[in-house]
Structure 1
């Protein structure tokens, strides 16, 4: 009986440790009761923070881009972003596949071929969304990014402050947080 009791207690402790380990690995909390249908539509990428060397080199020349989020047949999302690059509009589409709880997705980077996880950490659907992305790029370099999506090109000071606070809680420094300047170029929805 004592051996059975010890075995049972050992399994309970392993279960508790497993829960603690799972919670420690969750890099960001998700929007409670995330409603994917309300997240669809046009967004403007208004703010970014990243640990990427590319981002640090280019952050002063980046401008706001427009993204359209549309549903896929498998319950995922197509995220189509149009942005200005070398004075021309470029469009890229990422397929975000569901990865667990609502608001959690994964995608494969077309450039690196690596898998990235995306969490919708907070949104009110009508004004803003805060996203966090984590993965590995190139030769095992950890990649982290916080993104502010806004329904307009002029997010309020409160929303900008929410994003700044969110990025800092994710470990980004003040100089890694960038609010992207507006542009009229590449902001029309493509048919």
Structure 2
């Protein structure tokens, strides 16, 4: 890589660090309290490739399992045209409680995960961020049940808008039917 290419990469890395610097995780984040079942009841995503699939998104269920070293195993169940599919993710803890990274095999890149706000018993707002040929931002609203209070939804929506996500990218998908079968 030439000096121009290296300079571009360095500038992009600084821009990513600056863009993420204003996002702080939940104060005094407690992974043990965060563990357990969550439903993704809101999703905002700025990927142009996601646009045709927005109407197919349903609320999904996930199980957060903390590991002794501070890492997390997450299993998510999503309704797809092929049925209910489970996907496993391994989030690695960073030096900041509430911030994680994981390697996306699909995109061959590392993604940053930040638990921005949670009260542990009702909701969590989570930011997923990556740079892969451009910046991608995803904001998810998780809840311990399939229903959330309007003020929680408004908080999620305000946070997504503060990350410059378009209003039409902020979804509250309907529940999946029988996915996973034992969850409903």
Q: TM-score, normalised by structure 2?
A: 0.85
Q: Show the counterpart of 1:70.
A: 65
Q: d(CA) in 1 for partners of 2:108 and 2:182?
A: 28
Q: d(CA) in 1 for partners of 2:182 and 2:106?
A: 24
Between 1:110-119 and 1:178-187, the stretch displaced more is 178-187
Q: d(CA) in 2 for partners of 1:187 and 1:78?
A: 18
Q: Show the counterpart of 2:111.
A: 116
**Residues 96-111 of structure 1: pairs in structure 2 closer than 5 A:** 96-111=91-106
Match of 1:44 among 22, 39, 42: 39
**Following TM superposition, by how much is the alpha carbon of 1:26 offset from its aligned partner in structure 2, in angstroms?**
1.1
Contact 2:84 2:180 in 1 (8 A): no
Higher gyration radius (CA): 1
Match of 1:184 among 140, 153, 177: 177
Q: CA RMSD in A?
A: 1.9
Match of 1:94 among 66, 89, 96: 89
Match of 2:166 among 165, 173, 176: 173
Q: Show the counterpart of 2:48.
A: 53
**Following TM superposition, by how much is the alpha carbon of 1:63 offset from its aligned partner in structure 2, in angstroms?**
0.5
Q: Does 1:164 align with 2:153?
A: no
Q: d(CA) in 2 for partners of 1:143 and 1:107?
A: 15
Q: Secondary structure at the match of 2:56?
A: coil
The runs of at least 4 aligned residues of structure 1 exceeding 4 Å deviation read 22-25
Q: d(CA) in 1 for partners of 2:49 and 2:59?
A: 17
- Give ranges in structure 2 of 5+ residues lacking alignment: 1-16
Q: d(CA) in 1 for partners of 2:181 and 2:22?
A: 34
Contact 2:112 2:130 in 1 (8 A): yes
Q: How many residues align?
A: 168
Q: Show the counterpart of 1:155.
A: 148
Q: d(CA) in 2 for partners of 1:180 and 1:74?
A: 34
Q: d(CA) in 2 for partners of 1:142 and 1:188?
A: 36
Q: Secondary structure at the match of 2:55?
A: coil
Q: TM-score, normalised by structure 1?
A: 0.82
Q: Show the counterpart of 1:8.
A: none
Q: d(CA) in 2 for partners of 1:149 and 1:67?
A: 9
